[in-house]
Structure 1
Amino acid sequence: MLTSNISEWPAERAIFPVLHVDLRVVDALHPYALAERARIAANWDEEFAANPALYDNPMLLPRAVTISDGVISGETHVVPYSAFLLWRKTRPVTSAIHLFSLPVIVSSDGAVVAIRMGGHTSNPGRVYCAAGSLDPGDIRDGVCDLDGNMAREVMEETGLALADARSVSGFHALHDRGVITVFRVYHFAETAEQLIERIAAHIAVDPEPEIDEALAIRNADPGQHPYLPFMPLILEWVFAHMR
């Protein structure tokens, strides 16, 4: 059984290049979800009472991840979202790791176009790039498809097609308290204002929008918006390397 080699990972919160991601799906119940069933259910009752708009949909939560020579490998299981919510509160990294992919949209005039999450979501009001957890729809031949996940999430949340953008950065990643963020930069031919107008039009016709608005970020000031923890680090890297 694969075990995480956390002591051999790059330094926490340091961005490193990624050559390949091989996250294989195990067709079995996640040991963490089994062992913590009672606590997961109790925590879900609390979360749902506070926010009845939440859905306990299936997602992918890795059991173990190794990082070596730029290759991220792991084994992941399908779990209910409620299992992740408890894990996020307690962070037992020996039982599970969270890994997700983040497309960083850069406009033709050099801004990062991010989104502010809706108040009904599990990250209300927080600002980051349009993205979402891996779910069963992102499985291809038993392996997680990060590119497909990013394209789907961006289309669902913003109406933009990553196929219309140019990517030159390859994958990079960072990890923080058991969360691995794998990101790639996508350059669009349109200005930030044009992209924000397109996203606003998409939100206006979306019957269940996940985001409140799109916004242009032009510097890495960590206090500019209520970011999720990974965003200031990624913004600093993007503005230093990719504009």
Structure 2
Amino acid sequence: MTPIAIHRVTTLELDVQPWSWPFATERGAEISAHFAGKQREKPQIWNGRILLARHPVFTAAGFRAGYFETDFASFLAWRDWGFPDRDIFNGFGMGALRCNDGAFVLGEMGQHTANAGRIYFPSGTPDLDDISEGAVDMAGSVAREVAEETGLSAADYCADPHWDCVVSGRSVAMIRILNVDTPGEALRARIEANLARQQEPELCAIHLVRDVGDLTAAMPRFVTAFIEAQFSPYPIYGD
């Protein structure tokens, strides 16, 4: 199992820098063929522009990294082929919706998505719409993903001041707790009603986690590690 580290920070410095990814250019033909096969399996996926990262640095109170633009096809191949370029990581934000009864709300990805069946918090690899003043606006990215996946706006929750950066392999999940003054079952019903109004929702089910006994194998390790830390009486942060 990949070792996990959780760093609690209050600042994110995520500058976007012009850079050409050698993996994407040198293996372009293989990447195109791989993506064509994925599209035959799931015609809804498309090759949009996204942001990946390199040069991660944790300080006493912050996290910084340099982001660069690439395409989804290159990211998918890099992920599916076991992360051949170890200098790159996927740094993304997650909104951990926490209800007033302590339940966390997670969504299950629909079968038409690239991560079908996986269960986690609203999230997404940042893209060009998340750039503000030359940097990735991770808070804005999280707010956008929460709105797209659940229908909740920033007026529906109160964000904690800190981020828990969960490092797992070639991923850094920047997770922020979003407190909702609603019980878990009521919020699940509200989100399910929103999904029912969508023609092709990204999520196919909503799950509540009230303690570690609700964790499942469909949840990525960075999600379960974060939740375990929230329910632990002695959470450990750092290396």
Q: Aligned partners of 1:131 and 1:240: how far apart in 2?
A: 24
1:58 to 49, 52, 63: 49
After superposing the two structures, state which structure 1 stretch, 38-47 or 74-83, moved more. 38-47
Determine helix, strand or coil for the equivalent of 2:29: helix
Aligned AA (1:127): I
Determine helix, strand or coil for the equivalent of 1:86: helix
Q: Aligned partners of 2:9 and 2:85: how far apart in 1?
A: 21
2:110 to 111, 118, 122: 118
Q: Residue 48 in 1 paired to residue 39 in 2?
A: yes
How do 1:76-155 and structure 2 match up within 5 A?
76-89=67-80, 90-155=82-147
| Displacement after TM superposition at 1:19 (Å) | 3.0
Q: Aligned partners of 1:71 and 1:16: how far apart in 2?
A: 9
Determine helix, strand or coil for the equivalent of 2:147: helix
- Sequence identity, in percent? 28
Q: Aligned partners of 1:98 and 1:222: how far apart in 2?
A: 26
Determine helix, strand or coil for the equivalent of 1:52: coil
1:34 to 25, 43, 46: 25
Tell me what 2:64 maps to: 73
Q: Deviations over 1:61-95 (max 9, x none)?
A: 11332233343222111111111111112213534
After superposing the two structures, state which structure 1 stretch, 145-154 or 174-183, moved more. 174-183
For normalisation by structure 2, the TM-score amounts to 0.89
| Displacement after TM superposition at 1:103 (Å) | 1.0
After superposing the two structures, state which structure 1 stretch, 67-76 or 194-203, moved more. 67-76
Gaps of 5+ in 1: 1-10
Q: Residue 220 in 1 paired to residue 229 in 2?
A: no
Aligned AA (1:73): R
Q: Aligned partners of 1:154 and 1:167: how far apart in 2?
A: 12
**8 Å Cα contact 1:32/1:96 also seen in 2:** no
Tell me what 2:187 maps to: 195
Which structure carries more strand by proportion?
A: 2
After superposing the two structures, state which structure 1 stretch, 132-141 or 211-220, moved more. 211-220
| Displacement after TM superposition at 1:58 (Å) | 1.0
Aligned AA (1:36): R
Q: Aligned partners of 2:162 and 2:37: how far apart in 1?
A: 40
Determine helix, strand or coil for the equivalent of 1:15: strand
- CA 1:79 to 1:206, structure 2 compared with 1: closer, same or farther past 3 Å? same
Tell me what 1:6 maps to: none
Aligned AA (1:135): D
Q: Residue 162 in 1 paired to residue 154 in 2?
A: yes
Tell me what 1:178 maps to: 170
Q: Aligned partners of 2:161 and 2:58: how far apart in 1?
A: 19
RMSD after superposition: 1.9
Tell me what 2:15 maps to: 24
Determine helix, strand or coil for the equivalent of 1:49: helix
